[in-house]
């Protein structure tokens, strides 16, 4: 939810650097700025979803409530697809370039300082000033460590949006091991076709494993907790889609050739986005008889929601990953200064919007659900952006810079020790 890369390709040989979010930028590759646009829209879609849900507007009949009822899942799907793409980039680039993989410890240190300092601040504000519940020390520790969903009764309790951060952290923990496996299965002597086949097969297996794990959570086997359906294995399908895009981008950078039909499709954003809209409409049709946003879903409904949201996010992000420049109006809008700005603070938007929403609801509640939604939305948006800017400048950016300095000192000590 906080990853950044630039649009375009730099001159080959540009030294490895880090983005403002602390992510390693692959040598020779600039940031995909248009992704910040999707990151901003994903954060705003979650904000809109929760604002509509707070006043029960989502339970009303009509096209707009039906569309908004899926905005939360849609936004999270985009975040996870983007994470899969951005975070896997340095690993897959090393695999295809036959260079050493990024070290796990620095990777985890950067992820820690990107997520936890800002999260702890938002959690403290929620616990001390927003929440009216009393919690024990054990539950507080679980929330601080982002493992509350792995305990019974921890589902959507307290600072409930933190469950997505738990899923992200699980992905961060698993990714270096997956990359090592891919490097082992594709040694230097492997042919290009074999490398592509193994990578696509492995990512397909990861994608379908989520379907199997969701079945396990439904059957309540192996002593799984009631929050296990919100664990990382149930969402690796969305990450796998982003990782597939990362592989495709790295494949072409290292001289591979994409099938012409796939390349031509990706170079036509309007066509990709029409297909994405069709996928989103198909999901709304599948969910047409859903009685409210919190309705209990069948196993088939859950997988349909995952499939269509993942496909929609994949199709929306695809043109951004293949564009060498900003050739279309849509890409230029995503790369516009306002959306890039909102994308750079999107983590703060995600963290703070529910807290601002609680304050706005208590202060300026209105009579009907529709009036509450339209009346509260601008207040929530303005208040959230203000909090997100403050969070980025006071907590997030200093934490990123501290992590960078810490790793540079460690690197310097290691080099001096060897010398």
Per-position DSSP letters for 165-229, written without gaps between them: HHHHHHHHHHHHHHHHHHHHHS-TT--HHHHHHHHHHHHHHHHHHHHHHHHHHHHT-TT--TTGG
Q: Alpha-carbon distance 27 to 13, whole Å?
A: 6
**pLDDT attached to residue 4:** 46
Which residue, among 358, 323, 375, 351, has the nearest Cα to 35 in the 3D structure?
Answer: 323
pLDDT digit string (tens) for 116-146?
999 999 999 999 988 877 888 888 999 999 9
- Residue 223 in this model has a pLDDT that exceeds 60: no
Per the model's pLDDT, the better-predicted residue between 367 and 341 turns out to be 341
Of the given ranges (65-69, 91-95, 243-247, 276-280), which has the lowest mean pLDDT? 65-69
State which of 177-191, 333-347, 356-370 shows the largest mean pLDDT: 333-347
Q: Alpha-carbon distance 247 to 96, whole Å?
A: 9
User: Per-residue confidence at 16, pLDDT binned at 50, 70, 90?
Assistant: very low
- Residue 3 in this model has a pLDDT that exceeds 70: no
**pLDDT attached to residue 7:** 30
27 phi/psi in degrees, rounded to 5: -55, 130
**pLDDT attached to residue 193:** 85
Which residue's entry shows tokens 């899926």?
70
User: Per-residue confidence at 63, pLDDT binned at 50, 70, 90?
Assistant: confident
State which of 24-38, 54-68, 155-169, 298-312 shows the largest mean pLDDT: 298-312
Tokens of 275: 């297909």
Tokens of 94: 């090393």
**pLDDT attached to residue 17:** 37
Helical H segments across 267-298, by residue range = 269-286
Of the given ranges (180-189, 225-234, 270-279), which has the lowest mean pLDDT? 225-234
Tokens of 279: 């996928």
Name residues whose C-beta falls within 8 Å of residue 380's C-beta, 6 or more positions apart in sequence. Answer: 47, 51, 353, 356, 357, 360
- Residue 13 in this model has a pLDDT that exceeds 60: no
pLDDT digit string (tens) for 294-333?
456 788 888 999 999 999 999 999 998 876 555 688 888 9
Name residues whose C-beta falls within 8 Å of residue 95's C-beta, 6 or more positions apart in sequence. Answer: 101, 179, 182, 183, 186, 250
Average pLDDT for the chain: 85
**pLDDT attached to residue 2:** 59
Compute the average pLDDT of residues 97-105.
Answer: 93
**pLDDT attached to residue 15:** 31
User: Per-residue confidence at 211, pLDDT binned at 50, 70, 90?
Assistant: very high
Compute the average pLDDT of residues 43-72.
Answer: 90
- Residue 12 in this model has a pLDDT that exceeds 60: no
Compute the average pLDDT of residues 169-183.
Answer: 96
**pLDDT attached to residue 286:** 87
Quote the radius of gyration of the chain (alpha carbons, Å). 21
Compute the average pLDDT of residues 33-39.
Answer: 91
């Amino acid at each position: 939810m906080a990853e950044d890369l630039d649009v375009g390709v730099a001159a080959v040989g540009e030294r490895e650097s880090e983005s403002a979010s602390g992510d390693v930028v692959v040598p020779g590759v600039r940031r995909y700025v248009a992704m910040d646009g999707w990151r901003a829209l994903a954060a705003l879609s979650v904000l809109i979803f929760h604002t509509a849900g707070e006043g029960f507007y989502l339970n009303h009949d009509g096209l707009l409530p039906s569309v908004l009822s899926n905005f939360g899942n849609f936004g999270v799907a985009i975040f996870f697809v983007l994470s899969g793409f951005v975070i896997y980039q340095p690993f897959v680039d090393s695999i295809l370039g036959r260079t050493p993989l990024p070290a796990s410890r620095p990777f985890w240190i950067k992820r820690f300082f990107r997520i936890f300092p800002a999260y702890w601040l938002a959690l403290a504000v929620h616990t001390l000033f927003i929440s009216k519940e009393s919690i024990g020390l054990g539950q507080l520790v679980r929330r601080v460590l982002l493992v509350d969903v792995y305990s019974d009764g921890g589902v959507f309790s307290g600072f409930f949006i933190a469950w997505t951060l738990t899923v992200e952290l699980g992905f961060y923990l698993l990714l270096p091991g997956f990359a090592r496996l891919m490097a082992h299965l594709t040694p230097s002597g492997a042919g290009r076709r074999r490398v592509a086949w193994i990578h696509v097969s492995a990512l397909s297996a990861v994608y379908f494993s989520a379907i199997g794990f969701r079945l396990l959570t439904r059957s309540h086997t192996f002593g799984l907790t009631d929050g296990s359906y919100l664990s990382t294995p149930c969402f690796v399908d969305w990450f796998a889609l982003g990782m597939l895009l990362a592989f495709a981008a790295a494949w072409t950078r290292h001289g591979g050739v994409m099938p012409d039909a796939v390349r031509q499709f990706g170079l036509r954003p309007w066509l990709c986005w029409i297909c994405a809209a069709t996928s989103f409409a198909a999901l709304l049709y599948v969910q047409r008889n859903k009685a409210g946003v919190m309705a209990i879903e069948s196993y088939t409904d859950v997988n349909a929601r995952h499939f269509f949201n993942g496909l929609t996010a994949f199709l929306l992000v695809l043109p951004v990953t293949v564009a060498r420049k900003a050739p279309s109006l849509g890409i230029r809008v995503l790369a516009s200064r306002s959306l890039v700005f909102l994308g750079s603070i999107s983590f703060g938007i995600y963290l703070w919007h529910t807290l601002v929403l609680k304050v706005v609801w208590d202060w300026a509640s209105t009579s009907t659900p529709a009036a509450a939604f339209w009346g509260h939305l601008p207040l929530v948006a303005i208040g959230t952006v203000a909090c997100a800017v403050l969070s980025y400048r006071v907590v997030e950016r200093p934490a990123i810079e501290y992590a960078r300095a810490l790793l540079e000192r460690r690197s310097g000590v290691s080099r001096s020790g060897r010398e």
